[in-house]
Amino acid sequence: MCSGLFTLVAMATITELKCAVRETLESRGVLAQLKARVRAEVFSALDDQREPRPPLSHENLLINELIREYLEFNKYRYTASVLTAESGQPEVPLDRQFLASELKIAEDTSSKSVPLLYGLVSHFMNSSENQGRVFLRGASLPAGPNASNTVPGPDA
C-alpha cells in the first residue's frame, strides 16, 4: 500500500516539475525558440539530399532574399535557416544595395532601418494609383512538374 502512495506522490511531483519547467521556459521566451530549433533539426534530418532541387531562378533568389531579410529582422532565425536549407539560397545574404537595385527600389535613410519587404508592402498599401489596386503582369516562372508558363490575367 505504501508503494502505491509513493508512486502517486512521485508522479505528482514529476507532473508539477514538468509544469514548472514549461512555465519558466515560456516566461523566458525560450520554449518557442526550442520548438523552432527542434522543427528545423527535424526538417534538416528529413531533407533528402539525393533528390535534386530545381535550379534557383533569379526571381526566386530575390523573393527568398526579401523573405530572409524579413525573417532575420524579426528574429525568426530558425525559420530563416530552414528557408535557406530548403531553397538552396546561398548561405551569405545578398547585399541589400544589390537587392534594392535589382528591384529598382530607391531608399531614403529611414527606410534602410527596416526590411525591404516592409517598404514594398507600405508602398502598395498607400499607393493611390489605379484605385489602390496593383495589376501584375506575367512573370517567368521556374520550370518544373507543377509549373505553367503563364500567369492568369485579371479576368481569369
In this prediction, residue 16 has a pLDDT band, given cuts at 50, 70 and 90, of confident
Q: What is the pLDDT of residue 100?
A: 92
133: pLDDT strictly greater than 60: yes
- Angle subtended by helix axes 77-87 and 30-46, to nearest 10: 10
pTM of the model: 0.60
Residues 29-79 pLDDT 10s: 888 778 877 877 777 777 666 677 778 899 999 999 999 999 999 999 888
2: pLDDT strictly greater than 90: no
Residues 76-128 pLDDT 10s: 988 888 888 888 888 899 999 999 999 999 888 888 899 999 999 888 888 77
Secondary structure letter of residue 154 according to DSSP: T
Q: Which three cell numbers stand for residue 31?
A: 520554449
In this prediction, residue 138 has a pLDDT band, given cuts at 50, 70 and 90, of low
Calculate the average pLDDT of the chain: 77
Overall fold of domain 57-129: Mitochondrial Import Receptor Subunit Tom20; Chain A (1.20.960)
Rounded-to-integer distance, Cα 156 and Cα 145, Å: 22
13: pLDDT strictly greater than 60: yes
Q: What is the pLDDT of residue 45?
A: 74
Spell out the domain ranges in the chain: 10-47, 57-129
Distance of CA 131 to the CA centre of its chain: 31
17: pLDDT strictly greater than 90: no
Tell me, letter by letter, the H, E, C secondary structure of 1-28. CHHHHHHHHHHHHHHHHHHHHHHHHHHC
**Which whole-number Å values give the CA distances from 139 to 59, 145, 149, 153, 155, in the listed order?**
9, 17, 9, 11, 17
Q: Which three cell numbers stand for residue 71?
A: 525573417
